[in-house]
Structure formats: structure tokens, C-alpha cells
Amino acid sequence: MTTEQPKPRMQRSRLLRLIVAIVVTIPLVISAIYMWALWDPTKKVDEMPVAIVNSDVGYGEGADRVDAGAGVANNLVESQSLGFKLVDEKAAYEGLRDGDYYFVIQIPEDFSESLANIATVTEAPALISVTFNDYNTLKASSIGGSAMEKIQQAVLKGVATTTVGSLVDGVQSLGDGLRTAADGSTQLADGTTTLREGIENELAPGVSQAAEGSNKLAAGAGTLSQGLYTLQAGTDTLGAGATQIADGIERITGQIPLAQVEALLKQAQAVVPNSSQLATVSELIEGLQALKAGSRQVANELTDPNAQYRGGLNKLVDGGGQLASGANELSVGMGKLDAGVAKLADGARQLDEGAGKLSTGLNAGAEQAPDFGDQDRRTSLAALIATPVGKEYKHVAQAQFMGPGAMVVILIIITMLIPIVVFMSFRGHRFVTDNEAPRSVRDIARRGLAVVGISLVAVWVLAALVWFFMLSPSPNPVSLWQVYLITGAAVVMYVALISVLFTLFGYVVGAITSLAWMMLQLFSYGGIWMYQTVPAPFQWLYWISPMTLVQKGYTASFNGVSGFWPSFISMLVIAAVAAAITFAVVKWQNKRLHGVDAPGSGGETTEILTPTH
């Protein structure tokens, strides 16, 4: 009988082994995650399925209609910068919950209206919402945010603040000009109204009266001219008679020697100074001389064009003719003026109506013309027009800043990491010393159940601490009981799979292999990095990775979508197959080493946690 040698302290203290396991595994996990984080997935984001929902209803009618949402959606799909798919709203958000889409880009109903009215006084751009679900994938939100920056730059390509600033100033000048023109048109309308009233009430009646007067003047001038012609003819007749009278008087007086008679008469008066007869004869002689001179003068006045009367009469006749002619021309002109004033009055009415419409239109336009305010306001608006499309990020469950979306990844990591740590905290059995009793199937089963129990307790304690004290707000899964079942199934599956590795490769290699296997799954399972963006070999791992099943189970549980039962049953089947493999390997090892089944397989047991040295 051999004396049992004292065991090293490492083998005696389970707590010390647990601490060592934690100290070894935690830095490895953190380092691996950090190293995987250095991977740049942006080169393959064009393969990420992303849903586009165009809810824009357009704006305007006919040639003025704006359908900016359709243009943006089509441009995004054609750009192929991401794996864009244009779907309806229901399909998009169902796909986001199912994990079919990494995020949803939604163009709102008023997108075109906001852009069409961007020149009005507004405070916010047209928003495109981007919705992430970190329950499905952590990196989708950060990569999607970076991609959206590039997408927005493509949407806004060619728009510059300076150019739009000039546009704003120009529109402002247009608005100011419209307002000035509106003021001027109001004054014009007032002036044309006054003009119309003046023409209708004063000018037109006056011209009409003047036209009637000119007609009467023409008639009177004609009558006057005809009378003057008649007077001239009568004067000619009268002059002829006066000439005959003067000639007759001169013949009569020519037969009487008036000079001699006058001399004799003066002599007789000298002899008889107071004789009345001589005085009468003297007066008669003077009368004859006066008659002779007067008759000739009258005849000359009536016939000589150089005489005052006859010359004046001739001029009067000529003037009367000219007056008649001028009066006729005046009458004709006044008739034309009267007709022109009528047309002028009609034009004034049309001008007044047009000025009124112009005033109404310009004032309405001035009211609609934008007023961008002062220079600071115009500068702010120019910046808004330069960036007319903004983005709004929404999260079903945000993981960043310790949000509830991080819970799924934490559960996925700890459901595998804790069983590895628990396995490493157990003694190494025959991997530490060569003097080891053979293990039985019952021993392996007991060890598996112990690891499962300890791991479940540790997982739930750690998960509860994170759930209630580290994440804010706390996660709110659709089905909490499904979360419990998926967690339990994941722990059982990982314990069974890790047991296969420890059984096949031993304590040291089994631990390293388990950790390496975990790191590969973290990079390929799709919950942190989108599996479409990782290198091809890791994409193959996605389809065969047990962690992918766990992730799909949690996605179904937290989001309330289908996929829970396939994942749950698949994990239990994998656990059963792994357990069967472990038992088969143990039996094969025992037969190979000893040629018989291990002791205890028929009822005996061997301590597996405290092997003898």
C-alpha cells in the first residue's frame, strides 16, 4: 500500500484554481475581442442587408410635383454602398426583429414637402430615420452610422453653403423687390383710378362740348363769310352808283364856274353886306363844293381797294373766308378729338382694371414672398438649405453606453466562458499526474452535471448583476421564459461540447482549444460583427457555429419572433450528441489503456474531483 503524497496547494484549493482560471481566461477574452475590433468590415458593407422604407407621399401637383423620397430611395439602391432592399414598412421592421436586416432606413411621409418648402422660415431639415436593433448585432449601429455619413454626403453632393447663401440673398432681394413693387403698384392703381375719373368726368364731357361748339362756330363762320361776300358784292354795286353820282355832280358843277360865282358873290356881299339872299347863295355854293368832294370821297371809299373802307372790307371778306375754313377744320379736328377721348377713356378704364389686378397680384405675391430676416437668420437658413436632409437614429435596444441591447452579447459570452472557467477550476485528473485511476462514464456524467449546475448558478448571478445594476434601462425581452430556457440550453450545450474537448485533448490543450474555439465563434457568429463582412472562412463558421444557434435563440426571445424552438431543440440535440461522443471516447480510452471498462461502470464510482497522487 502506497502512502498518499501531499497534494500541491493548487490541487488542494478549488478557489485558487478558480481564481487562476478567471485570471487566465478574462484577459484572453478581452484581448481577443479587442483584436477582432481592429478588423475593418467597411470593405464589405455592400453585402449587409439593409431595408429602405419610402413612406414619402410626394408634394404638389402636375409639373410642380416633387417626389424626393423616391429619388433618394432609388439612388441608394443603385449606389450599392450597402445591401439595400426597398421594402414596405411592415416587412422592414419584421425583418429587423427577425435579424434579416441589420437596420432600417425610413424616409418619412413629409420628406418631399419639407424639401419643397425649405426656403420658408423653418428650423429643421427633412429627416431620414435610421433604426437599429442591438439585440441582433452590436457593430451594425456603429458601421451603419459611418455608412450613413457617406450616404448623406452622396445625397447632398453638389450643395455648398456659399452657393445656397447667394440663393437666399437673391430670394431675399426678390422678396424685397416684390414688396416695393407691390407698394408702387398700389400707388399706380390709385393714380390710374384718378386718371380714369378725370377723363370720364371732366375731359370727355369738355371735349364733347367743345366739339359741339366748334360745329356751331363752323356754321356761324360759314354764314359770316357768306354775308361778307354778299356785303362785298353790295359794296361793289354801291360803289358803282356812288361813282356815277360823283361823276354826275362833277358834270353838273363843272358847268357852273363856281370860282367866278364865288368871287362875284364876295363882291356883291361887300356892296350889300347883310343881304340874306347872298348868304343863301353863298351857302349853296359851299354845299355844292362839299357835295362834289364828298360824293367823290364816298365813291373812292366804296371802290378803291386802298381806301380805308374798301380795303378793310376786302380784308374782312378774306378773313371771313379764312375763319370759315379754319372753323371747318376745327370742327373736323374736334370731332376726331372727341372720338380719341372716347378711346382714351376706354383705355383708362382698362389701365385702371389692369393696375388693380397688378396691385392685387403683387401684394399677394409679396405676402407669399419669403422674408428671411436679418443677416444672421439668412446665414442660419443658408446652412439649413446646404444640409436639407438630416438623419435621426433610433434604437430598439441600444447597446452603447451600457444600454439594454448589450445584454444579448453578454449572455452569449458568459454562457460559454463560465463553463470553460468552471472546467479549468476542476482538478486536471490524469493530465496533472500519470498515476490516475481510470474514469467511468458515471464519473464523467457526475462531472458534467456538476459543471452544468455551477455554471448555471454563476451565469444567472452574473447576468442578474449586469441586468439590474449595470444596464440602463434594464432589458425588456418579449419572452423572459424563453430567455431562461435558451440560457439553460446554451450552458448545457457548451458543457457537453467543452467536455468533448477536455476528454479528447486533456486539461491544458482542452482549455486552450476551448478558448480558441470561443474566440473564433465570437468573430463569426454574427452578433458582434455582421457575418457578411468577415473573411470567407469565418463566414463558413457562421453556419456551423453553436454560438450562432444561441444568438438566434436570444434574438427570438428578446424580439418576440419565430426561431426559438428550432434553436432550443437544436442546442439540446447538440448537447446529447456531444455527451454521447464524450462517453464513447471515455470507454474507448479505458479499453485502450486497460483493456477493460473502467471500474465503477457497473456500480462502482471513482472520485473525479479529487484524484489520488
Mean pLDDT of 551-563: 92
Nearest Cα neighbor of 558 from 486, 458, 459 is 486
Element (H, E) at 84: strand 83-86
Mean pLDDT of 71-79: 82
Q: 606: pLDDT confidence band, cut at 50, 70 and 90?
A: very low
- Per-residue pLDDT tens over the stretch 524-542: 888 887 888 777 777 888 8
Q: Is 502 in a helix, a strand, or coil?
A: helix
Q: 28: pLDDT confidence band, cut at 50, 70 and 90?
A: low
Domain 42-159+388-395, CATH number (from 3.40.50.150, 3.40.1710.10, 3.30.230.30, 3.90.1010.10): 3.40.1710.10
pLDDT of residue 166: 42
Distance CA 418, CA 574 (A): 19
Provide the residue ranges of all domains of the chain, joining segments of one domain with +. 9-28+401-594, 42-159+388-395, 189-366
Q: Give the DSSP letter of residue 394.
A: E
- pTM score > 0.85 for this model? no
Amino acid symbol at 389: V
- Per-residue pLDDT tens over the stretch 133-171: 888 887 788 777 777 776 666 566 533 333 354 455 556
Mean pLDDT of 85-112: 90
Under 8 Å CB-to-CB from 279, ≥6 apart: which residues? Answer: 269
Q: Name the superfamily (CATH) of residues 189-366.
A: Methyl-accepting chemotaxis protein (1.10.287.950)
CA distance from start to end of the chain: 13
User: In this model, does residue 212 exceed pLDDT 60?
Assistant: yes
Q: 10: pLDDT confidence band, cut at 50, 70 and 90?
A: very low
Nearest Cα neighbor of 490 from 571, 605, 610, 577 is 571
Where is mean pLDDT largest: 239-248, 387-396, 433-442, 517-526?
517-526
Distance CA 359, CA 381 (A): 30
Q: 464: pLDDT confidence band, cut at 50, 70 and 90?
A: very high
Q: Work out the percent of the chain whose per-residue pLDDT is above 90.
A: 19
Q: What is the mean pLDDT of the chain?
A: 75
